[in-house]
Structure 1
Amino acid sequence: MQPAPEIALRDIHQLPAPSLWPPAPGWWGVLAVVLVVSLGVHLWLRRRRLRRIAIEKIFDDAMSEAFDAPAQVAAMSALLRRASRRHRADADVLDGDEWLKALDEGAKVPLFQSGIGRLMLDGGYRKDIDPGDVDVLRKMARTRFLEWMRV
């Protein structure tokens, strides 16, 4: 046997730390996922905002086309009947107190079965409607319309 040769070994040196730029491939993937998700959220929120604006415009245009108070009440009733079909299939054919009850369904405080809300029954046929009452009714109807349209 031969004796082990004397080999001069050097100390072990650590590799230098990786640089911060460019990042590792996994970080590029994380960045891509974050960008895609944030773009998706932005587009979703933008679509919701544009939908809300369009639905508000439907209500506001119908009110501006109505030339007097009875026509405004009739337009509110027609819009609410269309919107109510999203919740009840028979809501557009209801009349009288059943219609007012349907308007108040799911509301925390019943607004249409008493007070100014009762104008929805015959306000479209009366000429002696107070414009202040119509303004209050318009706010109530607009709020309900937007709730039913899920805006």
Structure 2
Amino acid sequence: MNGPDDPLAALRPLHLPEAVSWWPPAPGWWLLTLVVVIAGGGWWWWRRTALRRSALAELRLLSRCQLDDRQLAAGLNRLLRRVALARFPRRQVAPLSGEAWLQFLDSRISGSPFSHGPGRVLATLPYGAGGNIDRTALLAVVRNWIRQVGRRQP
């Protein structure tokens, strides 16, 4: 029945569609990539700022507690030492005390708020020597140091 009366003979032969290309991806893949990049960037930022956030939270806690001058200076000294040990090599930070400690703190920020400013009491007051303390200025200096050191790469 392959004659002129055959209606199937007038049809064109079957042709297959072209293979699906891998590029450009479907819109769903673009959206998934965008979500993964945003989530990864958020996780990276959260981890990068964790030390600074926790140190500033502890500083706020120290500033709200009813501590005498010696206890406040000792608490701030411990906080600064923990941040420095987390941020810089242990062999560089651990042996420091007194003037060397204050100079280290000053070397990480502009000015000399620890050697020649309100932070000077951190070298003597926690260890029993008397001193006049300006709580507001001391807390501001420590807050500034944590913010600046937390921003830098070691």
- Same fold (TM > 0.5): yes
| Distance of aligned partners of 1:55 and 1:36 in 2 relative to their CA distance in 1, 3 Å threshold | same
Distance 1:144 1:129 in 2: 21
2:10 aligned residue: none
2:98 aligned residue: 96
Distance 2:32 2:72 in 1: 51
Deviations for 1:5-32, whole angstroms, at most 9, x for unmatched residues? Answer: xxxxxxxxxxxxxxxxxxx853332222
| Distance of aligned partners of 1:134 and 1:45 in 2 relative to their CA distance in 1, 3 Å threshold | same
| Distance of aligned partners of 1:82 and 1:71 in 2 relative to their CA distance in 1, 3 Å threshold | same
| TM-score normalised by structure 1 residue count | 0.64
Where in structure 2 are there 5+ consecutive unaligned residues? Answer: 1-23
Distance 2:147 2:66 in 1: 19
1:69 aligned residue: 69
Deviations for 1:116-138, whole angstroms, at most 9, x for unmatched residues? Answer: 221111122345534xx122111
1:111 aligned residue: 113
| Distance of aligned partners of 1:122 and 1:149 in 2 relative to their CA distance in 1, 3 Å threshold | same
Deviation at 1:97, TM superposition (A): 1.4
Distance 1:88 1:28 in 2: 45
Instruction: Kindly provide the amino acid, as one letter, of the partner of residue 110 in structure 1.
Output: S
Q: Which stretch of the first structure deviates more once superposed, 73-82 or 27-36?
A: 27-36
Residue aligned with 2:26, SS: helix
Deviation at 1:47, TM superposition (A): 5.2
Deviation at 1:55, TM superposition (A): 3.0
Where in structure 1 are there 5+ consecutive unaligned residues? Answer: 1-23
Deviation at 1:109, TM superposition (A): 1.8
| TM-score normalised by structure 2 residue count | 0.63
Deviations for 1:16-53, whole angstroms, at most 9, x for unmatched residues? Answer: xxxxxxxx853332222122222333444455566654
% identical equivalent positions: 24
Instruction: Kindly provide the amino acid, as one letter, of the partner of residue 40 in structure 2.
Output: G
Instruction: Kindly provide the amino acid, as one letter, of the partner of residue 138 in structure 1.
Output: L
1:129 aligned residue: 132
1:34 aligned residue: 34
- Counterpart contact for 1:66–1:75, Cα < 8 Å: no
Distance 1:106 1:140 in 2: 12
Aligned length: 126
Instruction: Kindly provide the amino acid, as one letter, of the partner of residue 111 in structure 2.
Output: V
Deviations for 1:72-117, whole angstroms, at most 9, x for unmatched residues? Answer: 0111111112222232424233222111111112322221110222
Distance 2:35 2:76 in 1: 43
